[in-house]
Structure 1
Amino acid sequence: MKRLLRCIALVALVAGLAACGPPRKSVFPPTLSIQQMSVQPDGEWHLVLRIQNNSYTGMTFHSIDGTLQVANGIPVRLHADFKRSIPALAADVIPLDVLPTPAMTAALNAVAAKGSAGSLAYRIGGSTNATAHQDKKTRDFDFHGNDWLSPVPGIPNTYR
């Protein structure tokens, strides 16, 4: 009986010591999407990319490197170096300018002709470099996203 009580006390002591360490917060890949896109007078597209931190800890994002594909056309490169500290389960935006292909411009013009009833499918994918605040280790996270852009009523050359 004494032996059983000692084993139980030892297991309780080990479990108590294991619980004393700091809790590890889960780190998950972010979600990226286009929050808004405007067509500039020179034809360049000004994107506002939304980075959603899906982790249970704050993260500092350093760069993105990926592609934007519109209407199953040829993708264009997305690349930006920046520094954004985003709290757990929160989001922030970064600006990014891209030069669309002629096919992308034609697809967007077709949607603009339909007014607010039109929408244009897009796909973004690539990787982002980030550091979790809890462990200070820089990592690359893949991201993939499919969504739609539609003209914003009352604001010319702007899509969400």
Structure 2
Amino acid sequence: MIHRRSLILMAATVALLAACGGPVRRVSEPAASIQQLTVNADGSWKVELRLQNYSSIPMRFDSVKLAITVNTQDAGTLTGSPAISIGPESADVVSLAFMPAGIAKIAVADALSGRHALPYTLKGTVMATPEEAKARSFDLDVRNTLNPVPGLDGALR
């Protein structure tokens, strides 16, 4: 009987101590992807970049520097300073203007006119600041695919 009471008392103590710890503050590597790429009349692109915060705390996304490759063709480097805070385990989209290299323009035009998928990669860094911490640089290497948007000329998602 005394042994059983000791075990119950010990279990209750452990449970109370665990409850005192508060929520876990986990910083995870963020992600980035192209949500939409729109070709403008002058040949430039409007890139809707989706930034995903997988951390359990808010993060402020300060800058992005990502080399874009479309269908194995180098398009150039997408740079920007979104300066937005994204809540825990959430995402947001920022719009960035981009002037691609000529050969990449042709790859996108081909995908749009042929109504077929366009593979792309993003490789580079995202600078983000976790809440109440110092800024950190996160390396990204993303491979994904865009498809023409039905009814929306010049756009891939």
TM, length-normalised to structure 1: 0.83
8 Å contact 1:32–1:144 — kept in the other structure? Answer: no
For residue 124 of structure 2, the aligned residue among 104, 126, 134 is 126
CA distance in 1, matches of 2:66, 2:129: 18
8 Å contact 1:130–1:141 — kept in the other structure? Answer: yes
Corresponding residue of 1:72: 72
Q: Which AA in structure 1 matches 2:135?
A: T
Q: Which AA in structure 2 matches 1:98?
A: F
Asked if residue 159 in structure 1 is aligned to residue 132 in structure 2, the reply is: no
CA distance in 2, matches of 1:102, 1:129: 28
Corresponding residue of 1:136: 133
Q: 1:24 offset after TM fit, Å?
A: 3.5
How many residues align? The count is 151
Gaps of 5+ in 2: 1-8
Query: Cα deviations across residues 129-158 of structure 1 (Å, max 9, x unaligned)?
Result: 11111x322111112211111110111111
Corresponding residue of 1:28: 28
> Aligned-pair RMSD on alpha carbons?
2.4
**SS state at 1:147 partner:** strand
Q: 1:82 offset after TM fit, Å?
A: 2.5
Gaps of 5+ in 1: 1-8
TM, length-normalised to structure 2: 0.84
For residue 144 of structure 2, the aligned residue among 133, 143, 147 is 147
Seq. identity, %:
35
Query: Cα deviations across residues 45-77 of structure 1 (Å, max 9, x unaligned)?
Result: 100000011111111111111211111112411
